[in-house]
Structure 1
Amino acid sequence: MNTTQLRAFAVSAGMALGLLSLSFSPTHAATIDTGASDDAMSKQESKAQKKADHKAHRAKKNAELSTLEKNGYNPAGNQTNYPQNLQDAQQKAAGQKPTNAPAVAP
């Protein structure tokens, strides 16, 4: 390589490094950070949605349990006739007459 070719190579290498440094400018970094914050927001939104779903599910189950308790089921009471007590409360809540059949042991 002669000096003219060496200078041309050095200039082109310097320009290439300059262009590479432009691609990592603060503007580009801000774009990357925005993408990261969008990802974080979607995680936060997902977490909030899961929390809302869990809260709605819990409220539904509590309402169902409250209805069963109003119709005679006591989850903390005597559990010797457990399945039948629950079934009677469910039938009563549905507007049917309880069958009062004895529980069958498995």
Structure 2
Amino acid sequence: MNETIRTILVAAAVVIMSASTVPQVYAQETGANATSATQAAPVTKAEKKAARKEARAKKNAELKKLEDAGYNPAKANDPNYPQDLQNAQKKARVGASASQ
């Protein structure tokens, strides 16, 4: 039972993180300054594999950043789940903007 809940929590965190980044990526790609190279979809099998690998690395980095900011996706039955994730997102953004 606990493993199922952990899996659901991790999946929900990934969905939340990806939902917050999709509009930004789409807006960047469809902007007036977008080049045809950024809008081109991967064609070959190797390009698709590279794109998947890059996306996976990006999501893993985002999850690592949230975990470093205090989010623990492995907590089962966490009554503070949404608030914990939101706090970690805020903390991670503050840390990222301060270091740049």
Q: Larger relative CO (CA 8 A, sep 6+): 1 or 2?
A: 2
Which structure would you say has the larger Rg? 1
